[in-house]
Amino acid sequence: MINSIEIYIDGACQPNPGSGGIGIYVKGYGIEESFSIPLNGTVTNNIAEYQALIFALQLIKRKYLKSEKINIFSDSNLVCMHFNDQWKCKDKKLIPLLQTAKDISLEFRKKIILSYIPREENSIADSLAKDGIKK
């Protein structure tokens, strides 16, 4: 059984709105993997951040459900506050993305912890997200 994993997520676009990418970095208990994925169409930075969260939740569902503890870290305060029900999401483009993330998380027996971290502590996922834009 995998004891604990940490998943660092980031979304980016260039310009804003523009081409987007997401970066996911997973580490913990002998695991280390990363994902750099381009997003289709024109996106905003907030949409890219939500897409990163959704990808991470889908990844947990596919690979890491047996983990005892799962922590997701994001440098998007907006996404963290929405997901943790501390701010109401009013943006009509973000509401369906938040709902998708919430719906996926409800499938897990254990609570997923999404925490805000400063940008400088999320440099790997940030770099992966920027690489995703270039793909």
Domain residue spans of the chain: 4-134
In tens, the pLDDT along 8-27 reads 999 999 999 999 999 999 99
Q: Are 127 and 9 in contact (CB under 8 A)?
A: no
Q: Is residue 1 over pLDDT 80?
A: no
pLDDT attached to residue 84:
96
Alpha helix (H) ranges present in 1-135? 45-59, 77-83, 95-105, 123-134
- What kind of fold does domain 4-134 have according to CATH? Nucleotidyltransferase; domain 5 (3.30.420)
Backbone CA torsion sign across 46, 64, 129, 125: positive
Q: Are 43 and 133 in contact (CB under 8 A)?
A: no
pTM of the prediction? 0.96
Half-sphere exposure of 109 (CA within 13 A, CB side): 6
pLDDT attached to residue 103:
96
